[in-house]
Amino acid sequence: MNFSIKVDPATWQRYISSRVKGAELLSDPFTNKASAFTKRERAQLGLLGLLPPAVSTMEQQLTRVYENFLDRPTPLGKYGFLASLHDRNETLFFRLVHERIDEMLPIVYTPVVGEACQQFSHLYRRTRGLYISYDQRDAIEEILRNTYTADPSVIVVTDGERILGLGDQGVGGMGIPIGKLCLYTICAGVSPYSTLPIMLDVGTDNEELLKDPLYLGLRHKRIRGQEYQEFVDRFVAAVKKTYPNVVLQWEDFLKENAITQLERFRNVLPSFNDDIQGTAAVAVAGIYGGMRLSGQSIRDQRLVFAGAGASAHGIADLFCAALTSEGLSHEEARRRVFTVDTKGLVTRNRPGLEGFKAAFARDPEETAGWDCRDHSRITLEETILNARASILIGVSATPGTFTEPVVRSMARLNERPLIFPLSNPTSKSECSAKDAIEWSEGRAIVASGSPFSPVTYAGKTYRIGQCNNAFIFPGVGLGACVAHPRYISDGMFLAAAKTLAASVTADDLAESAVFPKLTRIRDCSHAIACAVVRSAVADGYADEEILMNLEETVRRSMWFPEYLPIRYEPWEGPSLPAPR
- Residues acting as catalytic residues: 109, 180
d(CA 554, CA 547): 10
d(CA 132, CA 75): 30
Q: Compute the half-sphere exposure of residue 546: CA atoms within 13 Å on the CB side of its CA.
A: 23
Sheet of 337-341, strands arranged across: 344-345, 337-341, 303-306, 391-394, 418-421, 445-448, 465-466
| Cβ 406 vs Cβ 377: under 8 Å | no
d(CA 480, CA 274): 14
Strand intervals (E) in 34-183: 130-133, 154-158
Judged on CB neighbours under 10 Å (0-12, 13-18, 19+), 359 is: middle
Sheet of 14-18, strands arranged across: 3-7, 14-18, 566-568
d(CA 270, CA 247): 5
In 3D, which of 460, 412, 461, 404 has the Cα closest to residue 436? 404
For residue 280, give the amino acid letter.
A
Which stretch of DSSP H or E encloses residue 6? strand 3-7
DSSP-derived letter for residue 243 is -
In 3D, which of 223, 204, 224 has the Cα closest to residue 215? 204
Helix then strand then coil, % of the chain, to nearest 5: 50, 10, 40
| Cβ 452 vs Cβ 462: under 8 Å | no
Helix 175-188 and helix 473-483: axis angle, to 10°?
70
d(CA 347, CA 368): 11
For residue 524, give the amino acid letter.
C
Q: Compute the half-sphere exposure of residue 429: CA atoms within 13 Å on the CB side of its CA.
A: 24
Kindly state the greatest CA–CA separation across the chain: 84
In 3D, which of 331, 340, 361, 336 has the Cα closest to residue 349? 361
Q: Which 3 state secondary structure label does DSSP give 578? A: coil
d(CA 412, CA 384): 10
Name residues whose C-beta falls within 8 Å of residue 495's C-beta, 6 or more positions apart in sequence. Answer: 531, 532, 534, 535
